[in-house]
Amino acid sequence: MRKLNILLDLSDRINPEINPSAKERDITNIKTITEYFTENMQRLNAYNAKGKIRLFLIPPPANADINSIVSKLNIDCSKMDNSGRKEIYDNLTSLYSEQIENIYNETIQTSEWLGSDIWRFFNNDVKDYCVDSDSSYRNLLIILTDGYLFHEHSQYDRGNRYTYLLNRNLSQFRNQNWRRLVEERDFGIISEREDLNDLEVMVLEIKAENPANSFDEDILTYVWKKWLGEMNVKHYEVYHSDLPANTKTRINKFLKSL
């Protein structure tokens, strides 16, 4: 059985003036995820199709319309009868695609780029929300983000470890010796836990906010992997933004592995 969790970063990475293709890429990626979910339902047949899929926006937005949409995307087939599961099987992909587009349109229209508190989500909530108490579930978390970390309420540092990844702490590593410097200075994200051995994480759409900073994607990917490893995440992959067809291959490989 699968517990699929999707975390969306609704920071200015989805601002069409900054990243015109972000919305369509994310919707396409989520379509691949929901198609996998329904394919898994088909393989298990209705009685055994007890998968779960959920969307997270961290922190929950103040916009009541968006919160209402998110609640519709929390699906637990283990609590449904066969007719309810059939309805999910028939409509899940269209439901997610339509509602994710609504979330993005609403966010873009209001232009409230508050950032996504991914660090605090991992620090406080990820195990409670994304790891099922039933050990028969495979717990998967897919994060759609550009790789930069920022939220106004999570700006802490400890030596060369941070709760954020921004220009102000990345700029010193933007050269061909970045890997050596990162290791020598123990640069990275503050890790506060080591108990995520029942969680698998995939991070998609890492992308430099400024094409001139060509090292950012490599640095961000490396630092994210370092952080996930330190938290003892069971299996993790981190990928830069790519053509949707290539990303689809990677999503399917991740979801169908193990």
Q: Where are the domains of the chain?
A: 2-256
Asked if 187 contacts 181 with a C-beta cutoff of 8 angstroms, the reply is yes
Q: Which CATH number fits domain 2-256: 3.30.300.30, 3.40.50.410, 3.40.1010.10, 3.30.390.50?
A: 3.40.50.410
Give the per-residue pLDDT at 115. Answer: 78
For residue 16, whether the previous peptide bond is cis, meaning omega lies within 30 degrees of 0, is no
Confidence of residue 258 (pLDDT cuts 50, 70, 90): low
Q: How far apart are CA 237 and CA 165, in angstroms?
A: 18
Name the maximum alpha-carbon separation found in the chain.
58
Question: pLDDT at residue 114 above 90?
Answer: no
Task: Scan for tokens 């990162």, then name that residue.
Answer: 182
Task: Give the pLDDT mean for 26-42.
Answer: 96
Is 244 a residue whose pLDDT tops 90?
A: yes
In the prediction, which pLDDT does 110 show?
Answer: 83
Return the closest-CA partner of residue 108 out of 28, 205, 10.
Answer: 10
d(CA 230, CA 226): 6
Q: What average pLDDT does range 155-168 have in this prediction?
A: 96
pLDDT (0 to 100) of residue 169: 97
What's the pLDDT at 166?
Answer: 96
Q: What is the mean pLDDT of residues 54-68?
A: 90
Q: What percent of the chain has pLDDT over 90?
A: 88
Please give the model's pTM, rounded to 2 decimal places.
0.97
List the one residue out of 110, 16, 95 whose CA is nearest residue 62: 110
Residue type present at position 135 = S
Instruction: Round the average pLDDT of the chain to a whole number and report it.
Output: 95
With residues binned 3-state (H G I as helix, E B as strand, rest as coil), the percentages for the chain, rounded to 5, are 50, 20, 35
